[in-house]
Amino acid sequence: MVVADAFGAHVPVFRELTASAQERAWLARLPNLVTALERRWDIHTGSPYRTGVAAWTAPAITSDGALAVLKVSWPHREARGEAEGLRFWAGDGVVRVLRSDDVHYALLLERCEPGQALSEAAGSAEQRLATAARLLRRLWSRQPAGGLALERVGDVTAEWAELVRERYRRLGRHLDSGIVALGAELLVSLPTTATSEVVVHGDFNPGNVLTARRQPWLAIDPKPMIGDPAYDPWAMLTQMGSPFDGPDAVGVLGARYRLFADLVGEPVERLLAWSVARAVESALWALDRGHPDAAHGQMAEAGLLAGIAGL
Ligand SMILES: Nc1ncnc2c1ncn2[C@@H]1O[C@H](COP(=O)(O)OP(=O)(O)O)[C@@H](O)[C@H]1O
Ligand SMILES: [Mg+2]
């Protein structure tokens, strides 16, 4: 039996996924799907988490008392590799997969306890970035074996470049055309100049690193791909605290990027260039989703980062 408040507008995914008929149909099927998974995997779920926008996620407990999390994602491209990536890392720096159902994009995961996000943790932004850098190095250190069913960064970002240009023509003429063009160009060119190849986490933001017991910090929610490690740090560096808000954003971000580049052993120019590319992609995606304010914010961030990079 699912809890009484399992579904409805208080759960973010029910507010976010209303744009298309397919999204609304998926939300309508979700209660039956969760009930079926509870039965099949012999688990009980609690009240869903109130963060996250592309998945229904709730604490769960298994029949032998293990603490778990049930995550059912809206079936989309980025969610397809989550189980594959988590299994690849085999619990080293990430949560373990207890069960998965690829057809329904459902995962039963090891639960992080107490599960406090790095975004909320004690310590200065710099201290928390150092924690993030250590964890990221650990993820990158596992060499990709053959036969991994993951997409390649360059294939995905080349498609994004096309989407950026198409969305700009259709919706974004008021945006800074130079920054849009720069972002689209970088999405294509950066993968061709990468000097190493790892399994990237793909969504390494401060909300996706949680305190745990088995290891002090575990990553959740990967959108893994194979490619340039410098692709990864953007979300961590730009979402830890509010680095764009202060009077000296350029100074703060410049120092932060240099520190992180040093800690992960990647060139700072590539971290900045990927950040411009990803911020532009994110801006045009937000515009397409009907969030023009978010799009303008991301474009401003892309412009500022391009300035720091001297691009
Ligand atoms: N393994 C886990 N242990 C503890 N909490 C989790 C776990 N997985 C997810 N959560 C909680 O659920 C929220 C949403 O999950 P997440 O996988 O990040 O989904 P989204 O793709 O929607 O961001 C997280 O921010 C966290 O609060
Ligand atoms: Mg998340």
Residues 164 and 304 in one domain: yes
Nearest CA to ligand 1 atom 14: 52
The phi and psi torsions of 210 (rounded to 5 degrees) equal -125, 150
Number of C-beta neighbours around residue 239 at 10 A: 16
Nearest CA to ligand 1 atom 2: 111
The phi and psi torsions of 91 (rounded to 5 degrees) equal 85, -5
The answer to whether residue 1 is domain-embedded is no
The answer to whether residue 239 is domain-embedded is yes
CB of 256 within 6 A of ligand 1: the answer is no
State which of 67, 88, 110 marks the end of a domain. Answer: 110
Nearest CA to ligand 1 atom 19: 52
Residues 180 and 202 in one domain: yes
Residues 175 and 135 in one domain: yes
- Statement: the pTM of the whole predicted model exceeds 0.95: yes
Q: Which atom of ligand 1 is nearest to the CA of 218?
A: 1
Residues 155 and 233 in one domain: yes
Confidence at residue 77, expressed as pLDDT on a 0 to 100 scale = 87
Which of 15, 17, 221 to mutate to test ligand 1, by most ligand atoms within 8 A of the CB atom? 221
Cα distance between residue 217 and residue 116, in whole Å = 9
Average pLDDT value for the chain: 96
CA of 22 to the centre of ligand 1 (A): 23
The answer to whether residue 266 is domain-embedded is yes
Residues 64 and 164 in one domain: no
Cα distance between residue 24 and residue 13, in whole Å = 10
Average pLDDT over residues 298-303: 98
CA of 306 to the centre of ligand 1 (A): 31
The phi and psi torsions of 196 (rounded to 5 degrees) equal -145, 170
Confidence at residue 16, expressed as pLDDT on a 0 to 100 scale = 87
CA of 173 to the centre of ligand 2 (A): 31
The phi and psi torsions of 89 (rounded to 5 degrees) equal -75, -15
Q: Which atom of ligand 1 is nearest to the CA of 55?
A: 22
pLDDT above 90: residue 19: no
Number of C-beta neighbours around residue 214 at 10 A: 11
CA of 55 to the centre of ligand 2 (A): 9
Confidence at residue 227, expressed as pLDDT on a 0 to 100 scale = 97
The answer to whether residue 115 is domain-embedded is no
| Residue 221, phi-psi category: left (phi > 0), alpha (psi -120 to 50), beta (remainder) | left
Which ligand lies nearest to the CA atom of residue 95 in the structure? 1
CA of 71 to the centre of ligand 1 (A): 8
CB of 208 within 6 A of ligand 1: the answer is yes
pLDDT in tens, 271-284: 999 999 999 999 99
Nearest CA to ligand 1 atom 16: 221
pLDDT above 90: residue 52: no
Q: How far is CA 256 from CA 245, 260, 274, in A?
A: 14, 6, 15
The answer to whether residue 300 is domain-embedded is yes
Number of domains, the chain? 2
DSSP the chain: ---TTSSSTTSHHHHHS-SSHHHHHHHHHHHHHHHHHHHHHTEEE-SPPS--SSEEEEEEEETT--EEEEEEE-S-GGGTTHHHHHHHHTTSSBPPEEEEETTTTEEEEEPPSS--BGGGSSS-HHHHHHHHHHHHHHHHHSPPPTT----BHHHHHHHHHHHHHHHHHHH-TTS-HHHHHHHHHHHHHGGGG-S--EEE-S---GGGEEE-SSSSEEE-----EEE-GGGSTHHHHHHSS-TTTSTTHHHHHHHHHHHHHHHHT--HHHHHHHHHHHHHHHHHHHHHTT-HHHHHHHHHHHHHHHHHHT-
Residues 233 and 130 in one domain: yes
pLDDT in tens, 135-146: 999 999 999 888
CB of 285 within 6 A of ligand 1: the answer is no
pLDDT above 90: residue 51: no
Residues 130 and 52 in one domain: no
Residues 166 and 136 in one domain: yes
State which of 50, 81, 110 marks the end of a domain. Answer: 110
CB of 120 within 6 A of ligand 1: the answer is no
CB of 55 within 6 A of ligand 1: the answer is yes
Cα distance between residue 94 and residue 309, in whole Å = 31
CA of 95 to the centre of ligand 2 (A): 13
Average pLDDT over residues 130-134: 98
Return the closest-CA partner of residue 163 out of 280, 24, 48: 280
CA-based end-to-end distance of the chain = 55
Supply the range of the domain harboring residue 305. 124-211+225-309
Residues 66 and 176 in one domain: no
pLDDT in tens, 149-177: 999 999 999 999 999 999 999 999 999 99
CB of 34 within 6 A of ligand 1: the answer is no
CA of 80 to the centre of ligand 2 (A): 15
Residues 96 and 234 in one domain: no
Average pLDDT over residues 248-257: 97
